[in-house]
Amino acid sequence: MTTEAKVGAFVIFSTLVLGSATYLVRSTQTGRAQVPYKTHLHYAGGLNAGAPVLFSGIKVGQVTSVEPWSDDPTQIEIGFTVKSGIPLNQTSTATVGTVTVMTAPALMITTRSKTARLIAAGGVVPSAEPVNLEELEAKVSSLAVSADSVLVEVRKDIPALTDGARTLLANLNQITGTQNQKRIEQTLVNLNALLERESPKIAQITDQISDLAKHANSVIGSVEPVISHADHAVVNVDQTVDAIRDPLAKDLAELQSTIQAAHTALADVHNIIGSNQYDIGETVRNLRSTSENIRVLSESLKQRPWSLIRTKQPADRRIPQ
């Protein structure tokens, strides 16, 4: 066998060994327990089967299918598998994105709460729609239109703003002109002369204020004893009130008990009157009839006083014919 044949055989053998090793490694990796899941999106963003699945930036599986959802053709059903033990829960969110600008799209799953309930195998992972370039372009276009309208309005207002700025600058130039500077200078000179002329009076007023403050201190010192006496008077009043509080409270308690007893007595009298109301009425009626009989008797005695002596009454006188 020639050297070229040996080299060729070695290359072929090495290629076979490398291919077998690669196949074994891939079969070993794919032979691990893979848990299937799926999610639904309105925009797949160029995602294809075989794309990686990233869980918080870590590759944990791959996309197995990307096709329209049979239950809702407006959405795309994405099937994928991840390694066993990846904690996909109800708060996890699946979206399409890229790690860098140059890389292919991948299915990215975020981690949320560690206490949320895990999603069973074959379950649906909640999704979040990715940023669509078309929607982004539409928003940029609307923003550009708004910016154009704003620029048009600004262009309309610029001449007025320019005129106002010019007027302001002219007024400032006029205020800071030579004539106004001379007036300001003259005013400052007059002010200095006024201060020099009135400084003795100002000093005198200051001395009077100091004397007044001293007198105020003396007045405050004289008022302090009055305040002290007032404090003593207040203390004495408090003591007096404390001394008469208990007797007053006792007298009030006795007065209250007396009033309560009077109420009780009145209630008893009322009850007695109520229970003997019929007897009292009968007695009053008897008294009335007795007084009426006495009145009749007295009238009879006034007319015939002899009736007390004679038992037989004389006949009435006849009227002469």
Q: Per-residue DSSP letters for 131-197?
A: PPHHHHHHHHHHHHHHHHHHHHHHHHHHHHHHHHHHHHHHHHHHHTSHHHHHHHHHHHHHHHHHHHH
Judgement on whether residues 73 and 125 belong to the same structural domain of the protein:
yes
Judgement on whether residues 60 and 122 belong to the same structural domain of the protein:
yes
- Where in the sequence is the domain holding 141, given as residue range(s)? 132-165
Report the number of distinct structural domains present in the chain: 3
Does 69 map to a domain?
yes
Judgement on whether residues 78 and 112 belong to the same structural domain of the protein:
yes
Judgement on whether residues 93 and 43 belong to the same structural domain of the protein:
yes
Does 124 map to a domain?
yes
Does 54 map to a domain?
yes
Judgement on whether residues 24 and 82 belong to the same structural domain of the protein:
no
Does 282 map to a domain?
no
Residue pLDDT, tens place only, 94-108: 999 887 767 889 999
Answer whether 36's CB lies under 8 Å from 79's CB.
yes
> Strands 52-55 and 106-110, how do they pair?
parallel
Judgement on whether residues 45 and 108 belong to the same structural domain of the protein:
yes
What is the C-alpha to C-alpha distance for residues 138 and 132, in angstroms, rounded to an integer?
Answer: 10
Our measurement of the distance from residue 31's CA atom to the centroid of its chain's CA atoms, rounded to an integer in Å, reads 58
Judgement on whether residues 9 and 46 belong to the same structural domain of the protein:
no
Q: Which of 24-33, 50-59, 93-102, 225-234 shows the lowest mean pLDDT across its residues?
A: 24-33
Does 59 map to a domain?
yes
Judgement on whether residues 105 and 71 belong to the same structural domain of the protein:
yes
| DSSP result, 58-112 | EEEEEEEEEEE-SS-TTSEEEEEEEETT---BTT-EEEEE-SSSSSPPEEEEE--
Residue pLDDT, tens place only, 147-156: 777 777 777 7
Judgement on whether residues 96 and 146 belong to the same structural domain of the protein:
no
What is the C-alpha to C-alpha distance for residues 103 and 54, in angstroms, rounded to an integer?
Answer: 13
Judgement on whether residues 119 and 62 belong to the same structural domain of the protein:
yes
| Most distant CA pair in the chain, distance | 209
Judgement on whether residues 22 and 89 belong to the same structural domain of the protein:
no
Helix axes 277-303, 178-275, angle to 10 degrees: 70
300 has a pLDDT exceeding 80: no
Q: CATH no. for residue 100?
A: 2.40.30
Whether this prediction's pTM lies above 0.75 is answered by: no
Does 212 map to a domain?
no
